[in-house]
Every structure is written in structure tokens, then in C-alpha cells.
Amino acid sequence: MNTTKIATETQTMTATTTPRTPDGTLTTQIDNQTFIVEVFFNPNATETFQDKLLRVILTEEVRATC
């Protein structure tokens, strides 16, 4: 269970959220380290995963040419 504390000048508020299960899990190994990444999607998003992935690829392509 995750607990987030929000502090203001006059009051402190604690919000408790239940953990979500990830929409996907990616695992990769680089040298002797294993990376496990949990992916969460916003159900209210208007951009699809394909749109997001294409945007990331294009951004990386631009960075590589600079």
C-alpha cells in the first residue's frame, strides 16, 4: 500500500492508494544487471501505445543525428 503525504501551510493530508497491477512488464539484461520495468497505461489517454512508441523512436533518431 502506497501512502502519499501532502503538506500545506495550514494542514497535512494523507492519501492512501491501493497498488495497481501493471499493464505489462518488460525484462532485459545488460551485462550482469537485469532490469524489470512495469508499464502502466492511462485508461483516459487519447494517444495510443503505437503513437507513444513512434514519438520515442523519432525523438531518439533526432538525438542521434545531432
H helix count then E strand count, the chain: 1, 4
Name the band, by pLDDT with cuts 50, 70 and 90, for residue 49: confident
Which residues lie closer than 8 Å to 30 by C-beta, 6 or more apart? none
Higher pLDDT, 60 or 5: 60
Which residues lie closer than 8 Å to 10 by C-beta, 6 or more apart? none
For the entire predicted model, the pTM comes to: 0.43
Count of structural domains within the chain: 1
State mean pLDDT over 34-61.
90
Residue 9 has pLDDT above 70, yes or no: no
Domain with 14, as residue range(s), is: 2-65
Give percent above pLDDT 70 in the chain.
77
Judge contact between 39 and 22, C-beta under 8 A: yes
State mean pLDDT over 32-52.
90
